[in-house]
Amino acid sequence: MAGLGLLGTIIVGGLAGWLAGMLMDLRFGVFMNIIIGVIGAALASAVFERAGIWVEPGVWGGLVSGFIGACILLFLAKIVRR
């Protein structure tokens, strides 16, 4: 989430993690939502870069990549839990 700064990254990561948790039906606390969203954004950015997909930097790009990455992380967590 380049260009957002620390506070922006935390806010956008938390929102992305919360939205992904709602979609994947896994509930975590605020801090885990932030962590999942930020790590998910980093994961998605790496995957998008390798696939040649360009995501706009900033709030909306960070939110989209964080949401997709967080969904991937939560999907993997569901698989491991079983």
Q: Which structural domain, as residue segments, surrounds residue 22? A: 5-81
Q: What average pLDDT does the segment 46-73 reach?
A: 86
Residue 1 has pLDDT above 80, yes or no: no
Q: What average pLDDT does the segment 61-77 reach?
A: 87
Residue 66, token pair as written in the block: 């964080």
Residue 2 has pLDDT above 70, yes or no: no
CA distance 27 to 6: 24
Burial classification of residue 41, based on how many CB atoms lie within 10 Å of its CB (0-12 exposed, 13-18 middle, 19 or more buried) = buried
pLDDT at 82: 74
Matching residue, tokens 């950015």: 45
Q: Per the structure, how many domains does the chain have?
A: 1
Q: Out of 3-7, 24-28, 65-69, which region has the weakest mean confidence (pLDDT)? A: 3-7
pLDDT at 3: 66
Instruction: Share the mean pLDDT of the chain.
Output: 84
